[in-house]
Chains A and B, each alone.
Chain A
Amino acid sequence: ETGVTQSPTHLIKTRGQQVTLRCSSQSGHNTVSWYQQALGQGPQFIFQYYREEENGRGNFPPRFSGLQFPNYSSELNVNALELDDSALYLCASSLASIHEQFFGPGTRLTVL
């Protein structure tokens, strides 16, 4: 059974640029959630995707957007990057009916 994978591992961007992060969910999982973890903080919920539709969103601006594909993999897109977007971005997958989530290793984004 393959766990949750994320790519890339690390990424460096400059302010104003756009970035796409990718996540492959654990086999059989149909729900993907994205979290932002700033240094020294707990993860903050960005949004969740279920059956290719956004199923809830945290307190993040519209420049944070996402997609889920038919194979349940997902992308997180961030436009107009700001310095405060520097963080570890975590993807988690789960079955819709079960609250237990499985996290990937994360993508470390640095915005200069």
Chain B
Amino acid sequence: AQSVTQPDIHITVSEGASLELRCNYSYGATPYLFWYVQSPGQGLQLLLKYFSGDTLVQGIKGFEAEFKRSQSSFNLRKPSVHWSDAAEYFCAVAPHGSSNTGKLIFGQGTTLQVKP
């Protein structure tokens, strides 16, 4: 079955430090890959996506992610974290095929806490 694993439930980093959030997926073929961020009481905002091509993807708010096919991973990174980055982060996959448009499968999420 298709699944997404975010191994880290909770991560705390100091402001200005670098960040890496892990994501592994289980799927027969390379799916479409996404990272979303959710602030308390808010909906989900798309940070970045990978469909094909360059495996290093740039997103909004200074985030980037690298797709590694051999490891079935799509880890999210940021070189310097800001206090406003504290939120819940979700990795998601969508199977290929027009009939599967929009059927996102989400991981359980990683809560990011930023220390001053």
* Contact between chains at A42 and B108 (CB < 8 Å): yes
Kindly state the interface size class of chain A when it binds its partner: 20 to 34
Asked whether A90 is an interface residue with its Cβ less than 8 Å from the other chain, the reply is yes
Instruction: Please report the C-alpha to C-alpha distance between residue A105 and residue B92 in the assembled complex, in whole angstroms.
Output: 18
The number of chain B residues with a CB under 8 A from chain A is: 26
* Contact between chains at A99 and B106 (CB < 8 Å): no
Question: Which residue of B42, B94, B98, B104 is within 8 Å of A105 (Cβ)?
Answer: B42
Q: Which residues does chain B contribute within 8 Å of A104, judged by CB atoms?
A: 43
Asked whether B11 is an interface residue with its Cβ less than 8 Å from the other chain, the reply is no
* Contact between chains at B102 and A44 (CB < 8 Å): no
Instruction: Please report the C-alpha to C-alpha distance between residue A55 and residue B100 in the assembled complex, in whole angstroms.
Output: 8
* Contact between chains at A56 and B103 (CB < 8 Å): yes
Asked whether A78 is an interface residue with its Cβ less than 8 Å from the other chain, the reply is no
Question: Which residue of A4, A48, A102, A103 is within 8 Å of B103 (Cβ)?
Answer: A48
* Contact between chains at B42 and A99 (CB < 8 Å): no
Question: Which residue of A42, A96, A99, A106 is within 8 Å of B109 (Cβ)?
Answer: A42
* Contact between chains at B43 and A99 (CB < 8 Å): no
Instruction: Please report the C-alpha to C-alpha distance between residue A14 and residue B46 in the assembled complex, in whole angstroms.
Output: 34
* Contact between chains at B107 and A42 (CB < 8 Å): yes
| A43 nearest CB neighbor, chain B only | B106
Question: Which residue of B45, B51, B99 is within 8 Å of A56 (Cβ)?
Answer: B99
Q: Within residues 95 to 112 of chain A, which ones have a CB less than 8 A from any CB in chain B?
A: 96-106
Q: Which residues does chain A contribute within 8 Å of B42, judged by CB atoms?
A: 105-106
Asked whether A92 is an interface residue with its Cβ less than 8 Å from the other chain, the reply is yes
Q: Within residues 50 to 93 of chain B, which ones have a CB less than 8 A from any CB in chain A?
A: 51, 90, 92
* Contact between chains at A94 and B106 (CB < 8 Å): no
CB-CB under 8 A for A94 and B102, given A42-B90, A43-B90, A99-B32? yes
| B32 nearest CB neighbor, chain A only | A99
Interface residues in chain B, defined as those with a beta carbon under 8 Å from any beta carbon in chain A: 4, 32, 36, 41-46, 49, 51, 90, 92, 94, 98-109
